Chain A
Amino acid sequence: MDELILKVKNEIITALKLEGMTPDEIDTDAPLFNEGLGLDSIDALELIVLMDKNYGIVVEDPKVGKQALESVRTMAEFIKNNRKS
């Protein structure tokens, strides 16, 4: 799981162009939106596309997507349980 968390953090940094940020600086359990990383709705779309592209996961239910993108840990768990690639 730790390996996947690190991978997800690196993918978030690249996809969202968080220049100058390292995986260590992202709190695994902190909220991704508003507080914590302070991401917004465009970032949410970028992360949905990231999961589709890199793991073959299509998020169809917005409620499921919202829960999955609460933190890096919930995102990694969601990927682990639903990945197709």
Chain B
Amino acid sequence: MSVFIKGMGLIAPNWDCENKKFHIDPNSNLIPYLTCMEPDYKKFINPVAIRRMSKILKMGTTSAKIALNDAGLDNVDAIVLGTGFGCFSDTTVFLDAMLDNAEKQLTPTAFIQSTHNSVNSQIALMLKCNGYNYTYSHGGLSFENALTDAIMLLNDKDAENVLVGGFDEITDLMYTSMKSAGWCVGDTIFGESCGMFVLTNVESDFNYCKIDDIRTSTTEVDFGRNIFRFLEDNNLHINDLDLILEGSTDTRWLTEQKLAPDVPLFEMWKHITGESMTATVNALNFAASIIKTQQIPDELVIKGRIKSNYEKVLILNNFRNLTQSLILVSKC
């Protein structure tokens, strides 16, 4: 059974979701990581509900609302999200309060919002969705594993419309910790983003694209060989691809290894979106938009000959050489 993207919502450093406009210049010039272009949340969420929400909850509920509006739906059958660090900011607030007040006088709000599945819960409450609700927190494959689960739900006909997404915020403390842990190697730029997709198993002219296949790897492997095996399993040759989105932090495998010299390549997309454990949401959004509109935004620099048709797009993601993923999407 085929799985399609029916609607999308993205809050990211390069995407103005209110005006649906792409901005190549990151809006955070003064800090060493990329923060999101945030919309006026009150336009999307009930102002009474919003007052208690942290930034990541606002981002999650708003992008979910945008994706559902885009899909023309009021509700979904399931909510499956992925996150690396969860609601880190509120976790910090809660832990700080525990230390400052000697584990007494703790307020409930930060605690409620500090769990990894707070965003899922908030979206479910907002939509009054009592269906399947699951949060994956699997490092650099958090979003990919959520996507795999959503695809299985649709393939098994356990659902007709599934909200799937990935979110990760970044704070000063998180950046400092990642830097101390040696994560900021080479020209890595960390960032935050929140991307939601409504997936469906119902074919329609309005769908963005089809998700053909997804494959993940958690061991150190020959990534080039993996790409070719993945394409072979999908009866494709690398030159059948119309575009490759290569997301790495510091290695340009395709260019360095000359693996796909004849395929247009959008190299190092994470320099625009920022690196995070769920950065793939940005690439999937790029790919679906390009296939739907058959246009590549002028701001994106593509290596190689630009094609007139974009039917098959391959997304590559490598998170800190620890986890890799491949997602193949195509025109409906």
User: Which residues from chain B contact A42 at a C-beta distance below 8 Å?
Assistant: 52, 108-109, 112
Shortest Cβ gap from B112 to chain A (Å) = 7
Which residue of A15, A49, A52 has the most chain B CB atoms within 10 A of its CB atom? A49
Shortest Cβ gap from B20 to chain A (Å) = 27
- Docked Cα-Cα span, A19 to B48, in Å, equals 10
User: Which residues from chain A contact B101 at a C-beta distance below 8 Å?
Assistant: 53
User: Which residues from chain A contact B258 at a C-beta distance below 8 Å?
Assistant: none
- Docked Cα-Cα span, A76 to B112, in Å, equals 28
Shortest Cβ gap from A41 to chain B (Å) = 9
- Would you call B52 and A52 a contact (CB within 8 A)? no
- Would you call B105 and A19 a contact (CB within 8 A)? no
> Is A38 close to B, CB under 8 A?
yes
> Is A18 close to B, CB under 8 A?
yes
> Is A45 close to B, CB under 8 A?
yes
> Is A63 close to B, CB under 8 A?
no
> Is B107 close to A, CB under 8 A?
yes
> Is B178 close to A, CB under 8 A?
no
- Docked Cα-Cα span, A53 to B109, in Å, equals 16
User: Which residues from chain A contact B51 at a C-beta distance below 8 Å?
Assistant: 16-19
Interface size on B, residues (CB 8 A): 10
- Docked Cα-Cα span, A45 to B112, in Å, equals 12
Shortest Cβ gap from B40 to chain A (Å) = 13
Which residue of B101, B106, B108 has the most chain A CB atoms within 10 A of its CB atom? B108
Shortest Cβ gap from A25 to chain B (Å) = 14
- Docked Cα-Cα span, A53 to B104, in Å, equals 9
User: Which residues from chain B contact A19 at a C-beta distance below 8 Å?
Assistant: 51
Q: Which residue of B lies closest to A50 (CB)?
A: B107
Q: Which residue of A lies closest to B108 (CB)?
A: A45
- Docked Cα-Cα span, A16 to B50, in Å, equals 11
- Docked Cα-Cα span, A38 to B46, in Å, equals 14
Sorting the interface of chain A by its residue count into under 10, 10 to 19, 20 to 34 or 35 or more gives 10 to 19
> Is A27 close to B, CB under 8 A?
no
> Is A29 close to B, CB under 8 A?
no
- Docked Cα-Cα span, A16 to B48, in Å, equals 11
User: Which residues from chain A contact B52 at a C-beta distance below 8 Å?
Assistant: 16-17, 42
User: Which residues from chain A contact B109 at a C-beta distance below 8 Å?
Assistant: 42, 46
Q: Which listed residue (B105, B108, B112) contacts A53, Cβ 8 A?
A: B105
- Docked Cα-Cα span, A42 to B49, in Å, equals 12
- Docked Cα-Cα span, A18 to B48, in Å, equals 9
Shortest Cβ gap from A73 to chain B (Å) = 23
- Docked Cα-Cα span, A38 to B49, in Å, equals 11
Shortest Cβ gap from B300 to chain A (Å) = 37
- Would you call B48 and A49 a contact (CB within 8 A)? no
User: Which residues from chain A contact B105 at a C-beta distance below 8 Å?
Assistant: 49, 52-53
- Docked Cα-Cα span, A42 to B113, in Å, equals 12
- Docked Cα-Cα span, A18 to B109, in Å, equals 14
User: Which residues from chain B contact A38 at a C-beta distance below 8 Å?
Assistant: 48
Shortest Cβ gap from B57 to chain A (Å) = 12
- Docked Cα-Cα span, A46 to B51, in Å, equals 14
Shortest Cβ gap from B87 to chain A (Å) = 16
CB contacts under 8 Å to A, within B44-99, are 48, 51-52
- Docked Cα-Cα span, A19 to B108, in Å, equals 19
CB contacts under 8 Å to A, within B95-137, are 101, 105-109, 112
User: Which residues from chain B contact A49 at a C-beta distance below 8 Å?
Assistant: 105-108
Q: Which residues of B contact A (CB under 8 A)?
A: 48, 51-52, 101, 105-109, 112
Contacts A42-B52, A42-B109 known; 17 new A-B pairs at CB < 8 A: A15-B107, A16-B51, A16-B52, A17-B51, A18-B51, A38-B48, A42-B108, A42-B112, A45-B107, A45-B108, A46-B107, A46-B108, A46-B109, A49-B106, A49-B107, A53-B101, A53-B105
